């Protein structure tokens, strides 16, 4: 089994692997006004150059800025952030890892180099210890936890395998001939149109148009516009 969800939202685990508090939703009003902090500390242009992600005030980065502004204790006492699908798969398997697709939605991940971007963490005083290990879709996280198997009647041999757990990535990978000069439109809560690329496309024109280089299945890049 595997889980897919939306992007950007996250939970924080403590040193004992316990979820510290109920996650916020990206539409929470606490994010309003965080753009000013981004502009002051790093600038929107530089942030895009480092991450290649479409800037919106709902991004994980903005949520963490809001948490810091509120003196949210999860930032200081937390040991690792996990995005929503990763968090649910952690509950199922006991293995805490973040998948590439969801990591790229954070606006704290260098999509071109496929790594957490330390410059972003440093600019906003976000502890780098929160950076989770990143894996790609198809990774076997482990067997389902024994207590869950017993309670639900699911076989103890059931594997928890992370898909491309961002819902847009799941939708895109189902498109026939994706990557062969084929564009797609995914419509749900959001409508996103884009292409699948082999590598990130980050330049002055994409910056001006605020186009996302989001993670896709098999390590591909989804060149997306909301």
Residues 103 and 114: their CA atoms lie apart, in Å, by 9
Give the H/E segment covering residue 61: helix 60-69
The two three-digit tokens of residue 204, written as one number? 């002055």
The two three-digit tokens of residue 40, written as one number? 């002051």
- Residue in 82, 214, 218 with CA at minimum distance from that of residue 138: 218
Active-site residues, by number, are 167
Residues 113 and 200: their CA atoms lie apart, in Å, by 9
- Residue 94 gets the label, from left (phi > 0), alpha (psi -120 to 50) or beta, of left
Decide if 102 contacts 85 (C-beta within 8 A).
Answer: yes
Residues 53 and 9: their CA atoms lie apart, in Å, by 15
Residue 199: other Cβ atoms inside 10 A: 11
């Amino acid at each position: 089994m595997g889980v897919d969800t939306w992007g950007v939202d996250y939970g924080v685990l403590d040193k004992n692997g316990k979820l510290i508090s109920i996650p916020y939703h990206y539409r929470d009003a606490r994010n309003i006004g965080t753009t000013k902090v981004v502009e002051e500390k790093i600038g929107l242009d530089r942030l895009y150059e480092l991450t290649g992600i479409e800037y919106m005030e709902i991004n994980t980065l903005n949520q963490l800025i809001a948490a810091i502004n509120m003196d949210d204790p999860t930032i200081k006492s937390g040991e690792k952030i996990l995005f929503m699908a990763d968090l649910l798969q952690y509950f199922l398997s006991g293995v805490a890892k973040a998948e590439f697709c969801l990591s790229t939605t954070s606006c704290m991940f260098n999509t071109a180099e496929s790594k957490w971007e330390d410059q972003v963490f440093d600019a906003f005083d976000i502890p780098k210890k929160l950076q989770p290990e990143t894996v790609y879709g198809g990774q076997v996280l482990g067997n389902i936890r024994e207590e869950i198997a017993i309670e639900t009647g699911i076989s103890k041999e059931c594997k928890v395998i992370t898909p491309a757990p961002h819902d847009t990535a799941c939708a895109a990978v189902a498109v026939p001939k994706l990557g062969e000069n084929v564009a797609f439109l995914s419509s749900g809560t959001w409508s996103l149109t884009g292409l699948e690329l082999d590598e990130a496309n980050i330049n002055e024109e994409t910056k001006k148009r605020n186009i996302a280089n989001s993670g896709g299945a098999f390590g591909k890049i989804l060149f997306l516009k909301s």
